[in-house]
Chains A and B, each alone.
Chain A
Amino acid sequence: MARDVRSPRSGLTRRGVLRGAGGLALGGLSIAALDLPFFDVAGAQQNPLDCRARDVSATDKSVVISNWPGYIDPRKGAGNTRDRFEQQTGVAVEYTDDVNDNSEFYAKVKNQLGSCEPVGRDLMVLTDWMAARMIGLGWVQPLDAARVPHLRKNLIKPLQDKQWDPKLDYHAPWQSGLTGIAYNAAKTGEVKSFTELLDNKDLKGRVTMLSEMRDTMGFMLKVVGAEPHSFTADDWANAIDRLRGAVSSGQIRAFTGNEYTQDLAAGNVVACEAWSGDVIQLQFDNPDIKFVTPEEGLSLWSDNMLIPNGAEHQTNAEKWIDFYYEPRNAAKLAAWVNYICPVAGAQQEMEKIDPSLVDNLLIFPDDATLAQTWDFMPLDDRQQIAYEGDWSDVTGG
């Protein structure tokens, strides 16, 4: 081919044209490159007050919500909460379950929110640590306290005073849950502690842990005698070494998301770190699956509603938040979702909906259970990179 290009008749011009086109393209690119990561990429931190959109809630009666799959009562049910909300407020809900993973969702919205662009959503639901990170990045609009009175009044005590948003200026828990241990009573005796998951040779290769770093490492920190809500770099190193030992010895079979439920049900795994809501679901089919509070305690987490910068229907989104903090609606939701209901007063309302769930400690945990819970310390950006790096080295990502 090269020979033909050099042919005297047309080659020179063709080459010239190509070169010219290449030069033009390069020129165009280098202008575009101001936005490409050529020499520098600006920080993604924004000031929410500069990234506000005009609120058109009054004229455009709609709200766009992104949530996790299976996290709301289905629309076909009679008196479902979504229809109730629409009737009560006249706001049309555009609800999408497109949040599958905190990190993935972060990657999805990072470019827009990092440069003050809207993401076309008025509300998104993310787990504590990701909510903390986004609030820290200034990607979340403050809530107008006057428009969410029920949130302030009804949020249960253990979920208040988060280190990253103590006054509830930015977030409202959607649902909450406990992380503990689940085991299959038909296959093994009671598993009482995380230490046992790590050391009991009878469980070797039949134990899984969660791939959510803060869930599992909270327990590991407890195992080495540190406190998840406030630990040092040395504590971290001890905890990760302890975990590394259990991985390389083959004690831990895998780190999983929700799919551990299949392994537990199929008998591939006999004991594992587990989320409370999943266990309730599993117990419907297999009463041998038990949830225990490990001796180390429980991790209490929540998934939180956040209003992203550039949301055009902030008032409507706040109506949605407040609606779900009315006990009647919260109970209806909890009856279907089976995670911990963050709303005080919902337990009394549950009496009318499904009395069998009123005393379920995994939906309405008592004070004794909640007293054993902890919260994971917020990490700054350097800690995040270092610790997540260590974590993925050990867990295989």
Chain B
Amino acid sequence: MSETVRKRGRLGYLLLFPALAWLGLFFVVPLYSLVATSLFDPAGSDFRGYTMSWAWGNYSDALHEYWQPLLRSIVYGGIATALCLVLGYVLAYAIAFKAGRWKNVMLVLVIAPFFTSFLIRTLSWKLILADDGVIVNSLQFLHVLGSDGRLLATPVAVIAGLTYNFLPFMVLPLYASLDKIDHRLIEASGDLYAHPAIGFFKVTWPLSLPGVVSGTLLTFIPAAGDFINVQLLGSPNQRMVGSVIQSLFTDANNYPAAASLSMILMVLIVAMVVVYVRRAGTEDLL
């Protein structure tokens, strides 16, 4: 292994160059600017400009002020990811093992919503969950919701929107890992008198773990930072950190606060991802 790597090394670096240059330009530079902005003197403004004062206080201020939306983002993102995992696993399993010749059609159907804009798809959820809509009326009829109950502008609508919007990001990596599983291994577990359920947990599930890990990451990270769903389907009481950052940046023009909150979110997510990937035992993914 190391022998081949060494032989290919030079070419490897050459091939890495375009991507590294791209990352350098569009990841490192903005990141550096973000870090710098987060430490600017908060007394600055567009009128007077900003001075670098190493204002670490921006971080504690941001945490103190916005810990609630921060926490809410992680909780909502977590719930949406868990729902996506349950829904997505079943779907990906069906596509990989049971769909037969319908496999490609089903995969296209999973991706099809991407052909319309994210915004339009989220807006149409407003129609589905409308106060006088079929769903709310049926739930009221079944007494799940009170007679003046509603779904829009509640956490339910926000989490439903997040789950819906990020489901394909879960399904595709899950499908990719499930599809690669050698069926003979599952057969072998049956031959050894394992109950299908045991076979699933001992064979299929562990072999699909890379898909589970990448799927949950691909879902959780954007879901936790999302601000569209809460803006369209939620109310101010469901505010997530993405919308806080967005309004601090574009409306209040409080760039130091917006930047430090972004950094906090980023560090928090990276830390959670590292712990998660370690625990899931798939460090080689990183």
Contacts and interface: CB of A to CB of B under 8 A. Distances in A.
B2 A3 contact: yes
A396 B47 contact: no
A198 to B, nearest CB: 14
A41 B123 CA distance: 39
Interface string B184-200: 00000000000000000
A252 to B, nearest CB: 7
A178 B145 CA distance: 38
Interface stretch (B91-99, B127-135, B207-215, B218-226): B127-135
B40 interface: yes
B254 A385 contact: yes
A4 B130 CA distance: 60
A110 interface: yes
Interface in A381-396: 381-382, 384-385, 388-389, 391-396
A69 interface: no
B45 interface: yes
A385 B45 contact: yes
A26 to B, nearest CB: 10
Contacts of B153: 205, 253-254
A43 B9 contact: no
A31 interface: no
A384 B250 CA distance: 12
Q: Which of B6, B13, B235, B248 has the most CB of A within 10 A?
A: B235
A103 interface: yes
B24 interface: yes
Contact of B237 (A39, A250, A388): A250
A44 to B, nearest CB: 5
Contacts of B5: 1, 4
26 contacts: A1-B5, A10-B9, A36-B29, A37-B33, A38-B52, A39-B52, A205-B153, A252-B235, A252-B236, A253-B152, A254-B236, A259-B123, A259-B232, A266-B131, A267-B132, A268-B126, A268-B132, A382-B45, A384-B252, A392-B252, A395-B247, A396-B236, A396-B244, A397-B239, A397-B243, A397-B246
Given A103-B251, A205-B153, A266 B130 contact: yes
A259 B249 CA distance: 22
Contact of B239 (A104, A252, A396): A396
B2 A381 contact: no
B36 A44 contact: no
Contacts of B51: 39-40
Interface string A37-75: 111111111000000000000000000000000000000
A233 interface: no
B50 A247 contact: no
A268 B47 contact: no
Contacts of B262: none
Interface in B32-55: 32-33, 36-37, 40, 44-52
Contacts of A394: 236
Among A104, A106, A250, A397, chain B packs the most CB atoms within 10 A around the CB of A397
Contacts of B47: 43-45, 136-137, 381
Given A38-B36, A254-B153, A268-B130, A385 B253 contact: yes
Given A247-B237, A382-B45, A385-B45, A36 B33 contact: yes
A356 interface: no
A200 interface: no
B230 interface: yes
Contacts of B253: 103, 384-385, 388
Contacts of A106: 250
A37 B40 contact: yes
Contact of B251 (A29, A266, A392): A392
Interface in A296-350: none
A159 to B, nearest CB: 25
A229 interface: no
A248 B235 CA distance: 10
Interface residues of B, number: 55
Given A266-B127, A385-B253, A389-B257, A41 B243 contact: no
B230 A396 contact: yes
Contacts of A382: 45
A286 to B, nearest CB: 14
A253 to B, nearest CB: 5
Instruction: Select the residue from A25, A37, A382 with max chain B CB neighbours within 10 A.
Output: A37
Contact of A391 (B65, B239, B251): B251
Nearest to B41: A40
Contacts of B248: 389, 392, 397
Closest 9 CB pairs of A and B: A397-B247, A396-B236, A396-B239, A392-B247, A43-B49, A388-B252, A381-B45, A39-B52, A381-B47
A384 B45 contact: yes
Interface in A15-37: 25, 29, 36-37
A274 B143 CA distance: 34
Contact of B131 (A37, A104, A268, A393): A268
Contacts of B132: 266-268
B229 to A, nearest CB: 12
Contacts of B239: 396-397
B10 interface: yes
A12 to B, nearest CB: 13
A262 interface: yes
Interface string A246-271: 01101011110001001100111000
B27 to A, nearest CB: 13
Contacts of B13: 14
